Chains A and B, each alone.
Chain A
């Protein structure tokens, strides 16, 4: 479908054709937003972080070699952006009161999917309690649909470690989810 691959677009950006970044933005800003949203549960923060990633892509475009997948490089930068933001203002584990209210309102309004919405609500809370190491592999694997080798490259860890982390993260989540379910 896409006549130009992400890699070739990014290589054009690297060569000085900055406008090609616009196409990459169109292709990936939603996915990136999703990643940050799952990691922080804050809409505004996530939008800022997405901008930050695109800025870094421009600034550090020389570090893109085109050997690996563009997506992997993008999540590598995204993770660094998130890491820096956490260091600065503790973005993680911080629930915005208004957004929490939105969640709850959305949950109560949905009739048919009420139970599923409730599940999602429970999961949100459960995921909050995961360590960021576990949360990121889970988000990348489940929501961003990255393969293990892609995650490994993005996080600079081995594929085996990714596998173990995903497995453990899901295990923890399962425990927590079941606990919350029975409490309900």
Chain B
């Protein structure tokens, strides 16, 4: 009976030897196994063999992974992030998430919060708008500042427009689109550019800038005069277009005289004839 008991015990212990080796036993089980080993030679042998294999496994060497791995990992991470960003907008899950978050009771908190903000805005607004005199001085100051900015832009435009670089001159003309009401100096400078600039592109952009101020009769007159001066077919065509757009009947004469020019491009000729037809 006792021998059978011991055999049973040995089977049990054998099953636990591996667990002993990889530290998967509780302290009580552990000491029980150890107690048994002291008395049982057979199990001792078994245990020694297991332990030998276990320890030999510990000797197995794993080479160092190469440094490239890290580089490759970060490359992969970057690519992944980029692709996620690209796919983000169209992600169905995201859309679902948004709908969900909208439908969830969370919206009530958001609504309460926005109502609070509106109320707060109203309170602040009613408090600050009371001193009306102060507000008007603010307005004055703002008007003054805006005027100064406009002034500065005009000055910049005027100083840039004489720059030898065509790019700078283009920039100068570009500034005029930000100037709401141009003074005489600006208009004058623009016309000087339109009529004398050696670069066709600069002249075309200037023409475009000038058409903004077409309500000004001086500008319309200047544009009509310019018809006789332009020699580039592109500018001539553009000018003819502007005349039609402005419905400037006074330009018909100038256009007709342009037709009489000797070295007129055929395309320009057709265009001008068409423009005259449109205007009269």
Report which A residues bind B (CB closer than 8 A).
Answer: 18-19, 21-22, 25, 29-30, 33-34, 37-38, 43, 46-47, 50-51, 54-55, 58-59, 106, 113, 116-117, 119-120, 122-124, 138, 141-143, 145, 147-148, 163, 166-167, 170, 173-174, 177-178
Contacts and interface: CB of A to CB of B under 8 A. Distances in A.
Given A30-B65, A123-B56, A170-B50, A25 B84 contact: no
Contacts, number: 98
B69 A47 contact: yes
B54 A142 contact: yes
Nearest to B24: A148
Given A123-B56, A123-B57, A167 B63 contact: no
Contacts of B68: 47
Interface of B: 15, 18-19, 21-22, 24, 49-50, 52-54, 56-63, 65-66, 68-70, 72-74, 76-77, 80-81, 84
B53 A37 contact: no
A119 B56 contact: yes
A120 B60 contact: yes
Chain B, interface SS category: helix
A170 B53 contact: yes
Contacts of A21: 77
Contacts of B15: 167
Contacts of A145: 22
A174 B63 contact: no
B53 A58 contact: no
Contact of A38 (B49, B50, B59, B62): B62
Chain A, interface SS category: helix
Contact of B59 (A18, A30, A55, A116): A116
Contacts of B57: 123, 138, 142-143
A120 B69 contact: no
A173 B80 CA distance: 42
Contacts of B62: 33-34, 37-38, 143
Contacts of A174: 49-50, 53
Nearest to B68: A47
Contact of B73 (A51, A148, A170): A51
A117 B65 contact: no
7 closest pairs, A vs B, by CB?
A119-B56, A33-B65, A120-B60, A120-B59, A116-B59, A167-B18, A34-B62
A29 B53 contact: no
Nearest to B60: A120
Nearest to B56: A119
B61 A120 contact: yes
A50 B18 contact: no
Contact of A18 (B54, B72, B84): B84
B22 A55 contact: no
A166 B61 contact: no
B61 A106 contact: yes
B76 A166 contact: no
A18 B18 contact: no
A166 B18 contact: yes
A47 B64 CA distance: 10
Given A25-B70, A25-B73, A55-B76, A173 B53 contact: yes
Given A33-B69, A51-B76, A148-B24, 14 more contacts: A29-B65, A29-B69, A33-B62, A34-B62, A47-B65, A120-B59, A138-B57, A142-B22, A143-B57, A143-B60, A143-B62, A163-B24, A174-B53, A178-B49
